[in-house]
C-alpha cells in the first residue's frame, strides 16, 4: 500500500518466472510489467457470462466482444484474451503497451453496466548488443 496525498493506492501484482499477474477487477488498478516480459491482467472472473464488453487503450477500442464472439480485434498476436478465465495476457511487452486501459461492460439491454480503468506501466531498460 502506498500513500499519495491522502489516498491509498493498492498495487496488486505478483511475478512468476517473468510473468506478472495483475488484478484489474478493481477500478483504478496500477499494474507493472517488465520490458520484454509478460503481463496477465485479470479483468473479470468469467467473461463468457457478460453479454457485451469492450476493451480500450486510451480512447481507441482494441477488442469488442458480443455473446462470447469477438466482433473486432485490433491487437496483435502478442495479446491473448481468454473469456473463460477473464484474463488478457500481453507477451513481449514494449514501452508502447504502457497506458490507460478501460474495460466497458454492457448489460443485456446494451447499456453500460460497469466501467473500469487500469494503468499499465512497462519498466526496464532496453539492451542493445553490437555484433
β-strands 19-23, 13-16: how paired? Answer: antiparallel
Neighbour tally for 63: CB within 10 Å: 19
- Any idea which residue has 453496466 for its cell? 113
Architecture of domain 2-121: Sandwich (2.60)
Mind listing the pLDDT tens digit of every residue in the chain (131 residues)?
Answer: 444 344 333 344 444 446 899 998 999 999 999 999 999 999 888 888 899 999 999 999 999 999 888 888 888 899 998 888 888 899 999 999 999 999 999 999 999 999 999 999 999 876 555 55
CB contact at 8 A, 31 and 13? yes
- Any idea which residue has 491522502 for its cell? 6
| pLDDT of res. 130 | 52
Amino acid at each position: 500500500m502506498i500513500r499519495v496525498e491522502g489516498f491509498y493506492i493498492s498495487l496488486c501484482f505478483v511475478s512468476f518466472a517473468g510473468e506478472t499477474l495483475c488484478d484489474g477487477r478493481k477500478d483504478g488498478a496500477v499494474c507493472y510489467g517488465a520490458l520484454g516480459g509478460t503481463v496477465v491482467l485479470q479483468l473479470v472472473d468469467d467473461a463468457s457470462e457478460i453479454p457485451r464488453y469492450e476493451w480500450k487503450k486510451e480512447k481507441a477500442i482494441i477488442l469488442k466482444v458480443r455473446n462470447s464472439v469477438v466482433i473486432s480485434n485490433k491487437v496483435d498476436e502478442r495479446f491473448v484474451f481468454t473469456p473463460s478465465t477473464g484474463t488478457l495476457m500481453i507477451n513481449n511487452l514494449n514501452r508502447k503497451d504502457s497506458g490507460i486501459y478501460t474495460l466497458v461492460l454492457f448489460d443485456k439491454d446494451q447499456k453500460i453496466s460497469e466501467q473500469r480503468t487500469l494503468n499499465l506501466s512497462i519498466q526496464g531498460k532496453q539492451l542493445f548488443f553490437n555484433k
